[in-house]
Amino acid sequence: MDWNEAEPDVNLLRHDIVIASRSIAGEDIKKLCSFAKKFVVLIGWANAPSIPEIRSALFDSARKSGYVIRHIPINHDRRLQYNLQYNLVYDLGYEPNINIVRDGFERCYKSKDDAYADLQHLISDPDELNQDIYKRNVDKYLTYTPESGYRFYFETRTFVMWWETYPKQFLNHEFIS
């Protein structure tokens, strides 16, 4: 269902826990909370490379035409990252918790050729690749182990933020002198 059309208890039921993972739903915290009876979990990229940067590392220099996909610049300035969503959640009266998880884009292959063939599907025009350059780019992220073959790994980081859906309200204590 389109997030913009979703309405709690109208066309989408409320649930105890709502999870929004790298979703447009993270842009509307109030609406996201309206679908959760107990907890909301928000997951997103955390101050590290993400899919556009992985694609650039593998393909941009390998294009025969020299064409480079211009991605929306990702600002790794820590002041403009997940802390903004944390503060938004906090300012709405919730008490958010956050954890940063080291993760990555990972796949295992029996051979380098299997890796090259599979990863080419991440772009729409694999015939436009200079194969020598493309293979050197992929090789930077491949490691070999006798047990599992070739492992492709590109490290990323993810934030996991969660909070209870009822805002905390405390009595305003004033000291009497």
The tens digit of pLDDT for each residue in 87-103 reads 999 999 899 999 999 98
Angle subtended by helix axes 112-119 and 131-139, to nearest 10? 110
CB 139 within 8 A of CB 109: no
- Name the 3-class secondary structure at 159: strand
pLDDT 10s digits, 15-60: 999 999 988 888 899 999 999 999 999 998 887 777 777 888 888 7
By DSSP bridging, strand 97-109 and strand 142-145 are unpaired
| Contacts for 105 with CB less than 8 Å, ≥ 6 apart | 51, 54, 152, 153, 154, 156
Which residue is listed with tokens 């556009």? Answer: 52
